[in-house]
Amino acid sequence: MANSHGLTARIVKKQAAARKQAKGKKKSYQVYMGNENPQVRKNQSYKARNHYLENKQTFPKKKLKTKNVESLKEQGIIDERGFFVKWKKKNFITKSMVDNSGLDFYGMPR
């Protein structure tokens, strides 16, 4: 079934030899990128992996500028009950999914 794809045997043999030769060389080009699996890493070029790593390192972190509750309310990051307006539906004051009265982000008891 080697040439069921229509290629002649000599071309198939050359392709197999080229694959065998290139097998050991991929290891030298590998750069560890963090949380991606090795299959994806093998399918990407060295340049693409390098760009990915550089972009990931330069991307700004989602870090609060201050932990003062009043200033965060003034900036519009959290609402008057203490919930984050944009990111996660977590309460900044109580550090849980409910506010001081036991209601969640939508105002429902949890």
Q: Give domain limits for the chain.
A: 9-58, 62-110
CB within 8 Å of 85: residues ≥ 6 apart: 76, 77, 78, 79
pLDDT at site 28: 47
84, 87, 89, 95 alpha-carbon torsion, rounded to 10°: -60
Query: pLDDT per residue over 52-76, tens digit each?
Result: 888 888 887 778 888 888 888 888 8
pLDDT at site 39: 63
pLDDT at site 38: 66
Cα separation, 40 vs 42, in Å, equals 5
Point out the least confidently predicted range of 9-18, 36-45, 91-100: 36-45
pLDDT at site 24: 61
Cα separation, 55 vs 73, in Å, equals 31
Q: pLDDT averaged over the chain? A: 77
Contact between residue 84 and residue 93 where contact means Cβ atoms under 8 Å apart: no
What predicted TM-score, i.e. pTM, was given to this entire model? 0.41
Cα separation, 101 vs 97, in Å, equals 11
Closest of 89, 82, 87 to residue 105, by C-alpha: 89
